[in-house]
C-alpha cells in the first residue's frame, strides 16, 4: 500500500492494482470496491482513477503555493518595516490613556529625528517674537540652536583662529567681515551634534552679502521661516518692555504685566526706546528683501500678530511639511493618519 499526503480531513490511499480510496481517519473498504467515507459523505472513485488522482495532486500543489506565498509576504513586510524604521526615529511619544481594543491616531510628537537632518533658518524684526519661537522649536524638534552672536563670543573666548581674527576687528570697533563670520558658522555646522540633530540658524544671514557668502559655502536651509509683524506693533512691543534687575525676568506693561509689588524696581533698557527701535526696524526692512531673494523656494511667511501658541502652530505645520519631504512614512501619515502604520498604542 502506498500512502499519499493527508489533505484536510481526507486521507488518500492507493493499493496496488486497485483504484484510490478516500477516508476521513482511515480507508473503509466496502465489498472490495473503492467506496469510502470522507466528511460523512460517500464517494465512488471506481472508473475515475485518473480524475481522482489529478484532483488530489492539484489540491496538494495549490496548498503548497499558498504556504509559500504567505511566507514571502511575511518576509517582505518585515523588510519594509525595518527600512522605514531606519529612516525615522520618533522619541518619546506623549502619554495617552489606553482604551481597550482601540488604537488612536498618533499624538503630537515632542522630538523628531530623521536621517536627513532638518536645516532651518528663522528671521524676523526686533520684537517679532523670534526668541520665544526658537525656544519652542528646539524643545519640540530637538534642533541645535545657532546664534551668530553666541558663536562670536565662544570663538573669541576659546581663542580659535577665527576668534582671534574677529577679536582684532572688534577691538578696533569695526564690524567683523562676512568671510570671518561664515568661517565660524561653517565650523559650527560641521560639529557632531549638528550633524546628528540638524540646525536652527537664528537671525542669520541679515544682509545680501552674508546670504551670498554662506551660499558659496553650500550652507542652505530646507526651510526659511520669516515672522512678519507690522512696524507699529513692533514699536509698541519694544517700548513696553521692562527688565527686573533682581531676577533678570523681562515683562511687558501690556502683554505680560509684572506683579504689582515689583513694578517700582523695573527698568527700561537703553535700546528699548521708540527712536532706537525704529532705526533697528528700518535696518531690518532694508535688508530682509535681499535676503529673502535667496530663499524664495523654501520660504514660509508666518503671521506674527497672532498669539504665541498660534504662531508656533503655524511654524510646526511648516516644519512637519519639511520633514515629510525627506521621510516617506511621515508624508504618508500626514495624508492618511488613521492608517495602521500611523497608529500609536500606549
Q: pLDDT digits over 213-256, tens only?
A: 999 988 999 999 999 999 999 999 999 999 999 999 999 999 89
Instruction: Check whether 130 has a pLDDT greater than 80.
Output: yes
| Predicted model pTM | 0.61
Do 156 and 222 fall into the same domain? yes
Does a structural domain hold residue 101?
no
Instruction: Check whether 7 has a pLDDT greater than 50.
Output: no
Distance CA 146, CA 226 (A): 16
Confidence at 137, pLDDT banded by 50, 70, 90: very high
Do 173 and 77 fall into the same domain? no
Do 75 and 120 fall into the same domain? no
pLDDT for the residue 47:
45
Instruction: Check whether 15 has a pLDDT greater than 60.
Output: no
Do 256 and 141 fall into the same domain? yes
Q: pLDDT digits over 68-105, tens only?
A: 787 777 766 666 555 655 554 444 444 444 444 444 44
Give the three-state DSSP class for 45: coil
CATH number at residue 247: 3.40.50.300
Does a structural domain hold residue 213?
yes
Contacts (Cβ under 8 Å, ≥6 apart) of 66: none
Distance CA 133, CA 145 (A): 11
Do 243 and 279 fall into the same domain? yes
**Contact present, 106 and 344 (Cβ < 8 Å):** yes
The torsion region of residue 272 among left (phi > 0), alpha (psi -120 to 50) and beta comes to alpha
Does a structural domain hold residue 171?
yes
Does a structural domain hold residue 106?
no
Do 127 and 231 fall into the same domain? yes
Q: Which residues are catalytic?
A: 130, 206, 241, 269, 280
Does a structural domain hold residue 97?
no
Domain that holds residue 43: 2-86
pLDDT for the residue 71:
77
More reliable by pLDDT, 304 or 54: 304
Quote the number of domains for the chain: 2
Contacts (Cβ under 8 Å, ≥6 apart) of 201: 119, 120, 121, 122, 146, 185, 221
pLDDT for the residue 176:
84
Does a structural domain hold residue 208?
yes
Do 208 and 65 fall into the same domain? no
Q: Which residue has the cell 496538494?
A: 60
Do 53 and 146 fall into the same domain? no
Do 166 and 299 fall into the same domain? yes
Would you list the DSSP string of 190-206? TSHHHHHH-EEEES---
Burial class of residue 296 (count of CB atoms within 10 Å of its CB; 0-12, 13-18, 19+): exposed
Quick one: DSSP state of residue 175?
P
Domain boundary among 30, 52, 86: 86
Mean pLDDT throughout 100-129? 65
Do 78 and 117 fall into the same domain? no
Would you list the DSSP string of 117-156? --EEEEEE-TTSSHHHHHHHHHHHH-PEEEEHHHHHHHHH
Do 248 and 323 fall into the same domain? yes
Amino acid at each position: 500500500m502506498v500512502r499519499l499526503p493527508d489533505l484536510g480531513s481526507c486521507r488518500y490511499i492507493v493499493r496496488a492494482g486497485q483504484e484510490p480510496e478516500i477516508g476521513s481517519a482511515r480507508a473503509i473498504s466496502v465489498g472490495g470496491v473503492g467506496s469510502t467515507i470522507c466528511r460523512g459523505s460517500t464517494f465512488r472513485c471506481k472508473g475515475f482513477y485518473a480524475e481522482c488522482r489529478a484532483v488530489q495532486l492539484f489540491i496538494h500543489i495549490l496548498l503548497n503555493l499558498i504556504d509559500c506565498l504567505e511566507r514571502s509576504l511575511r518576509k517582505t513586510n518585515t523588510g519594509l518595516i525595518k527600512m522605514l524604521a531606519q529612516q525615522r526615529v520618533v522619541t518619546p511619544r506623549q502619554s495617552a490613556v489606553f482604551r481597550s481594543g482601540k488604537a488612536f491616531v498618533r499624538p503630537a510628537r515632542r522630538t523628531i529625528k530623521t536621517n536627513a537632518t532638518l536645516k532651518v533658518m528663522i528671521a524676523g524684526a526686533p520684537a517679532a517674537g523670534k526668541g520665544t519661537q526658537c525656544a519652542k522649536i528646539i524643545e519640540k524638534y530637538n534642533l541645535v540652536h545657532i546664534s551668530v552672536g553666541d558663536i562670536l563670543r565662544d570663538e573669541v573666548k576659546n581663542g580659535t583662529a577665527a576668534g582671534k581674527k574677529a577679536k582684532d576687528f572688534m577691538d578696533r570697533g569695526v564690524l567683523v567681515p562676512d568671510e570671518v563670520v561664515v568661517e565660524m558658522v561653517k565650523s559650527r555646522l560641521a560639529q557632531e551634534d549638528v550633524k546628528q540633530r540638524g540646525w536652527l540658524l537664528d537671525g542669520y544671514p541679515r544682509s545680501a552679502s552674508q546670504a551670498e557668502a554662506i551660499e558659496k559655502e553650500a550652507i542652505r536651509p530646507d526651510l526659511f521661516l520669516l515672522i512678519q509683524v507690522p512696524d507699529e506693533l513692533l514699536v509698541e512691543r519694544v517700548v513696553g518692555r521692562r527688565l527686573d534687575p533682581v531676577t533678570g525676568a523681562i515683562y511687558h506693561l501690556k502683554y505680560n504685566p509684572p506683579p504689582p509689588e515689583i513694578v517700582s524696581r523695573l527698568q527700561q533698557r537703553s535700546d528699548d526706546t521708540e527712536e532706537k527701535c525704529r532705526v533697528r526696524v528700518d535696518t531690518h526692512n532694508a535688508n530682509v528683501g535681499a535676503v529673502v531673494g535667496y530663499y524664495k523656494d523654501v520660504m514660509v511667511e508666518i503671521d506674527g500678530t497672532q498669539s504665541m501658541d498660534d504662531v508656533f502652530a503655524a511654524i510646526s505645520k511648516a516644519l512637519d511639511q519639511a520633514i515629510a519631504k525627506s521621510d516617506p512614512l511621515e508624508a504618508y501619515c500626514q495624508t492618511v493618519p488613521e492608517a495602521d502604520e500611523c497608529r500609536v498604542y500606549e
